[in-house]
Amino acid sequence: MASAPPEKMIFQLTLRRRGISDQAVLRTLEDVPRENFVEPADRADAYRDSAMAISCGQTISQPFVVAYMTEQLKLRKTHRVLEIGTGSGYQAAILSRLAGQVLTVERFRTLADIARQRLEKLGCFNVEVMLGDGLAMPPAVGQFDRIIVTAAVDRIPDALLERLELNGILIAPVGPPHGVQTLVRVIRTAGGLERKELVDVRFVPAIPGIAREL
């Protein structure tokens, strides 16, 4: 069997050194080809631990943040997951390997279309890509075991909290749109919502509505 290329070995080592210990998450990040989700000019640097620019002024999150948020969700194959902010589709591809069903919502049509094509090529047939406003999800989408928000919000919208099942977990970057945010994990328990602040991050801001262009 051919050994992993050096950049992927460094990629895995970096994740482990930074505290990612869930073996299923580590295997999934190794298996999903990140180079398929970055811009062609950035493919040589796809496994560098940094965020990268993509179309529509958005970014693909750095691998550590993807791994950390995924690990905090404690995913199972029975889970139905909602992702707000499809972007490149990379996070959705990771979720697809660890969960049962994934609904990912994107406000930019261009990004939604490209992500859909990428996910289909990878055989992620348990992912549905939806063009929509992720900050105002209609009740018709139903309930979710896990919710992940991949754009900064100043507060977690009630419309998302209402979509969370009992014992469900939501994770989102909360804070100013053009500064440092804090990842917040919310668990819905029988007694209410349990909130915990985790680590500081930087995400592009979440914007209400569907983009008129792009």
Is the pLDDT score of 158 beyond 90?
yes
Is the pLDDT score of 163 beyond 50?
yes
Round the CA-based radius of gyration of the chain to a whole number and report it: 16
The rounded distance, in Å, linking the Cα atoms of 45 and 34 is 10
Sign of CA dihedral 159, 142, 117, 88: positive
Task: Encode pLDDT of 164-214 as tens digits.
Answer: 999 999 999 999 988 899 999 999 999 999 999 999 999 999 998 898 865
Q: Mean pLDDT, the chain, as a whole number?
A: 94
The closest alpha carbon to 172, from 129, 206, 137, belongs to: 206
55 labelled catalytic? no
Instruction: Output the pTM of the full model.
Output: 0.94
Q: Is 214 inside a domain boundary?
A: no
Q: Is 207 inside a domain boundary?
A: no
74 φψ region: left (φ > 0), alpha (ψ -120 to 50), beta (else): left
Name the strands in the sheet holding 127-131, side by side, starting at the edge strand that comes first in the sequence.
127-131, 101-106, 80-84, 144-149, 164-174, 181-189, 192-201
The CATH number of whichever domain residue 23 belongs to comes to: 3.40.50.150
Domain span at 164: 6-201
Task: Encode pLDDT of 7-22 as tens digits.
Answer: 888 999 999 999 999 9
Q: Which of 21, 55, 61, 96 is catalytic?
A: 61
